[in-house]
Structure 1
Amino acid sequence: MTRTELHQRLAVRGLGGELEKLLQYSRDCIRLYPKSVAEADIALGSTKIGGMPDLPQGLEWPTEMITTTTTEKRFLFLNREKKIETPRSLSFIAQVNFAELCVFDTGSTLPDNGILYFFYCQDQMAWGFDPADQNRFRVIYHKGDLSLLERRGFPRDIDADAKLIACGIGARSEISLPAYYHHVYDEMGKDKAEQIMDSFEGQNVNKLLGQPDVIQNEMELECELVTNGLFCGDPSGYNDPRAAQLEPNAKDWRLLLQIDSNEQNDYMWGDSGRLYFWIKEADLEARRFEKTWCILQCY
């Protein structure tokens, strides 16, 4: 929604006086509207979710290392476990053509050229609370000659249910509201906050930048702790002595991309969940997209 649309929605419910409060904490975003379209009709290098990536020549399809354990027979009564690491292809999630979308980037936050590719593990088991998950997703920035792109077919080890159906993208400059746990809603009171939340229920939440549409819990502190080696799948990481020192840095994290469970590509993250790709503001400014962190949340 735009600022004008936000004002209209609030005014209809007698909440126009809350507009300025919300705008203080809302953030500009590029809303991504998935469109059902045959992949053959999506131009090479265009922004899309799912399908096959349009990769530059020479760029290998990214993989993760999978560890399996086998039992090796040594003697009559003595066996030894042996760990074997093998590469497994990641699932292609989306590609973003900055030249197409820079006109919608009101804050000039993103590059004005190049393509950003997003990959994630096939089994959807990287929740993002474990430092070991860094091997299980990949974000790649290509700013070379786009005329040399090629639509890359799926590797043989990509499972059928890890192949997202391609969908085109329409884009729009909008704003996004802070998540439900934000203190601005406490300040305006429970009744008003519930009316605001209800009025935006069901809106499209695929986007670049902006405020996250949280399903479970806020993620900024989790990103800071886990990227500094603290396990956040239980309270141990949050109770670690280093957590207090790292906590102030949580404010540096920004949402880069949010992908919902979309009907257009017939795909669901967990139980009607979402993928969130996060990046530190300094890394975004320096175009260090390889430092992105991924979190999966679902209901």
Structure 2
Amino acid sequence: MNIEELKRRLNASGLGKYFDSLQPALRNTIRLYQTEADDSDIGIGQTKIGGKPDLPKGITWVTETNTIETTEKKFLIFSSKKQETITKPLSFIAQINLTEVSKFDKDGLLPKSGMLYFFYSAEQEAWGFDYKDKNKFKVIYWNGDLFELRRNDFPSDLPAYSCFKPCSVEIKSEISLPSYGHEVYGDFEEEEDDKFWEEVYDDGNLNKLLGYSDNIQNDMELECELVTNGLYCGDPSGYNDPRAKELEPNAKNWRLLLQIDSNEENGMMWGDVGRLYFWIKKDDLLNQNFDKSWFSLQCC
């Protein structure tokens, strides 16, 4: 949706009087409209969602390593415990060619060149609540000669349901609106509120870079701040921790980096028709510290 389309929808819904109050809250976003394709039809290094990643020689398929404790039976009475290390591949989510995409970045937040790669847990074993899950996702920034890229086959031990179908991407510069509950909607009457969410707000299949996240549940910025500072947010304990109060103002520093929706084109299903979100602090984005990203998964 662009600003002209927003005006048209507001006027058509009888909510045109709110345009002036909504406009300051708008953020620029880069929409990624996917179309199912064969990997052979997508050029090496092109922006795409799903399929097989195009990686340089120095970067291998990303894995997660977990240590588990097992009990070994010895004789009839005795048993011993031992630790076992298990390594398994993450799912490849998307690759972003920043030379292609940065021209749609009206705020100049993204690097002008290079590649961004996104990986996430093949079994969707993490939701973003716990810092211990930091090895269950990965954002990689690589800036080199695209002729070095080679298409990598799926690892043999990656489950078939996590080998997502490839989609080519049409890139557009658009605007995004805050999600439900934002203070900018405070003046809406009840019937106006319903009209806005049904007729104005775009809640379709939403893959995008930057802008506002399209939340299915609560806001995620505070959660990102607390979790990356070691507080568990899978229950109220992290929010009730004495440190949460002093960390809360920093939530405003977090920005959506990438949002990937459940969709049939890629065969992606996040929880129960949910969305996968990658987050980064604005300063880390500007300084290209993508290894400091965090993630969230939300669903109905």
TM-score (norm 2): 0.97
**Structure 2 residue matching 1:187: 3-state secondary structure:** coil
**Structure 2 residue matching 1:188: 3-state secondary structure:** coil
**Structure 2 residue matching 1:180: 3-state secondary structure:** coil
Q: Which residue of 2 aligns with 1:205?
A: 206
Map 1:216-231 to 2 at 5 A: 216-231=217-232
Contact (CA 8 Å) 1:186, 1:193: kept in 2 or not? Answer: no
Q: Which residue of 1 aligns with 2:46?
A: 46
Map 1:63-212 to 2 at 5 A: 63-74=63-74, 76-199=76-199, 200-212=201-213
**Structure 2 residue matching 1:132: 3-state secondary structure:** helix
CA distance in 2, matches of 1:48, 1:54: 10
Deviates more, 1:272-281 or 1:8-17: 8-17
How many Å apart are 1:66 and its aligned residue?
Answer: 2.6
How many Å apart are 1:267 and its aligned residue?
Answer: 1.7
- RMSD, aligned CA: 1.2
Deviates more, 1:258-267 or 1:272-281: 258-267
- Matched AA of 2:31: R
Give per-residue Cα distances to partners, 1:237-285, cap 9 Å, x unaligned: 0000000010000000000000000121122111000000000011001
Q: Which residue of 2 aligns with 1:296?
A: 297
CA distance in 2, matches of 1:269, 1:258: 12
Q: Which residue of 2 aligns with 1:260?
A: 261
CA distance in 1, matches of 2:294, 2:276: 11
Give per-residue Cα distances to partners, 1:79-138, cap 9 Å, x unaligned: 012121121111100000010111111111111100000000011121000111111000
- Matched AA of 2:275: R
Map 1:282-293 to 2 at 5 A: 282-293=283-294
- Matched AA of 1:292: S
**Structure 1 residue matching 2:260: 3-state secondary structure:** strand
**Structure 1 residue matching 2:30: 3-state secondary structure:** strand
How many Å apart are 1:187 and its aligned residue?
Answer: 2.2
Deviates more, 1:161-170 or 1:64-73: 64-73
Give per-residue Cα distances to partners, 1:170-218, cap 9 Å, x unaligned: 0111001100011111223332222111113543311000011000111
Identity of aligned residues (%): 54
Contact (CA 8 Å) 1:34, 1:49: kept in 2 or not? Answer: yes
Give per-residue Cα distances to partners, 1:137-196, cap 9 Å, x unaligned: 000000011111000001111000111100010011100110001111122333222211
Deviates more, 1:241-250 or 1:183-192: 183-192
**Structure 1 residue matching 2:187: 3-state secondary structure:** helix
Q: Which runs of 4+ in 1 moved over 3 A?
A: 73-76
CA distance in 2, matches of 1:190, 1:174: 28
Q: Which residue of 2 aligns with 1:33?
A: 33
How many Å apart are 1:76 and its aligned residue?
Answer: 4.1
CA distance in 1, matches of 2:70, 2:251: 41
Q: Which residue of 2 aligns with 1:235?
A: 236
CA distance in 2, matches of 1:28, 1:190: 28
Contact (CA 8 Å) 1:97, 1:114: kept in 2 or not? Answer: yes
Gaps of 5+ in 2: none
How many residue pairs match? The answer is: 299
Contact (CA 8 Å) 2:36, 2:165: kept in 1 or not? Answer: no
